[in-house]
Amino acid sequence: MKKEAMFFHPEEGKIRCVLCPHYCLIAKGNVGFCGVRQCGQSGDELKLFTLNYGEITSISLDPIIKKPLYHFHPRDNILSVGSFGCNFKCSFCQNYSISQHRAESRYVPTGEMADISLRNTDSIGLAFTYNEPSIWYEYVYDVAGEIKRRDGEHKIVLVTNGYINEEPLKKLLPYVDAMNIDLKGDGEFYKSICLGKLEPVMNTIRAANGEGCHIEVTTLLIPGENNSHETLDRLGDFLASVDRDIVLHVSRFFPRYRMKKPATGMEDLKKAYQQLRKKLTNVYVGNVSEEEKSYIMKQ
């Protein structure tokens, strides 16, 4: 559904979107980099509209450890929903069919989504995941607010790339109990592979961690792209400067979408795990079997 967006202003006869650090300047009829925010006429004014409000492409009851969140109600399930669109263009995207395309969706109004979530007794709350929740902002904000007003104990979770500006982040955080934020690589990796920037993601991790929200971080380890000793050193140093006890998931890469490199080898994962473990208390490996996990995490 099309709905007026929350973070924009008019500029040079166009609309400047200030939701995320791309700061798209959008002419009438066009969409921003994420493909889901469109500049349009409303009366005699230009405005910005979100195109994916309430549009659900995926809904599923998942174990919360699949998000992954290991230190936040790890034995529970959480109802998980997603829409379409993303503000990155990662060539290795694991969910490209909904992140990079206008996937088929069903409109679910705010109150109905809150009802579905609150009635599900097998779930501790609602996770906004699968595609990027930042660019689904208005719906996430409305549904999370509605749920918290009706039941403050019902958990709200975001699985996000962290590419959001400070003002919208701070407005949403009071409703959010836990986040898993991707930290994908160094500045060059963000620039060339995701078409974004590293610094705003670091700012999100710092800001969210300081707001009493439970934070875990995920790095998908791609051989030859983000697993050099220097890159992992900087990543570990940054996270340790936020909180040495922050949870980091180092995930195994498998070829997907446009990135056809071979899957991450066990030795690369083990090396990364051992290096990061020297800087951080809670490092886990993901996308591996239990047997592989115990081999890698064996001290």
The footprint of ligand SF4 (CB under 6 A) covers: 17, 19-20, 22-24, 32-34, 37, 87, 135
Which residue's CB is nearer to ligand SF4, number 132 or number 216? 132
Minimum Å distance from CB 143 to ligand SF4?
Answer: 18
Q: Are 78 and 89 in contact (CB under 8 A)?
A: no
- Comparing every residue's Cβ against ligand SF4, the nearest one is 32
Task: Give dist(CA 7, CA 23) in Å, integer.
Answer: 10
232 SS3 class: helix
Which residue's CB is nearer to ligand SF4, number 86 or number 178? 86
Does the annotation list 34 as a binding residue?
A: no
Minimum Å distance from CB 170 to ligand SF4?
Answer: 16
The neighbouring-strand residues paired with 251 are 220, 286
Nearest 10 degrees: Cα torsion 269, 273, 274, 277: 180
Which residue's CB is nearer to ligand SF4, number 24 or number 169? 24
Does the annotation list 39 as a binding residue?
A: no
Residue type, 59: I
Residue type, 92: F
Minimum Å distance from CB 87 to ligand SF4?
Answer: 4
Does the annotation list 90 as a binding residue?
A: yes
Which residue's CB is nearer to ligand SF4, number 21 or number 109? 21
Which residue's CB is nearer to ligand SF4, number 46 or number 65? 46
Minimum Å distance from CB 246 to ligand SF4?
Answer: 26
Torsion sign (Cα): 162, 166, 170, 171: negative
- Give the ranges where the chain is alpha helix by DSSP (H): 96-99, 110-119, 137-150, 166-172, 187-189, 198-209, 229-242, 266-277, 290-297
Residues across the chain: 299
Minimum Å distance from CB 12 to ligand SF4?
Answer: 15
Which residues contribute to the annotated binding site for [4Fe-4S] cluster? 86, 90, 93
Which residues contribute to the annotated binding site? 86, 90, 93
